[in-house]
Structure 1
Amino acid sequence: MKNYIVKEATGELTIMQVKPEQESAFLAAYEDSIVACGSSIQEVIIKFGELMKRN
């Protein structure tokens, strides 16, 4: 299962867990909204924190 941080249309950030069989449909729907992804929620939050430090 992969975990994603997605920026919603409202500007709110959401963590979403996606099963492997749903990943292609998820990517098609949210491709432009994905902020970070990883194999665990912890990894996604760390990657998000690193992105925030760069900006």
Structure 2
Amino acid sequence: YKYGFINRYPADKTEITGTIYEPWHYRYVGKQAAMEIYSQNLCLEEYVEQLRL
């Protein structure tokens, strides 16, 4: 997260992402978004949903 990357499919979010845990799958989202996702323990789907509110 310090460099703007997140683990795309975390182990504890399988039901939300619909994909099994993939420890090698990272996605660049930018430093600010990565920090928010990491600090709130969100997956990308949860973060995007939060932005829509």
Q: Shorter-chain TM-score: what band?
A: under 0.3
* TM-score normalised per structure 2: 0.28
* TM-score normalised per structure 1: 0.27
More strand by share: 1
Task: Report the structure number with the largest CA radius of gyration.
Answer: 1
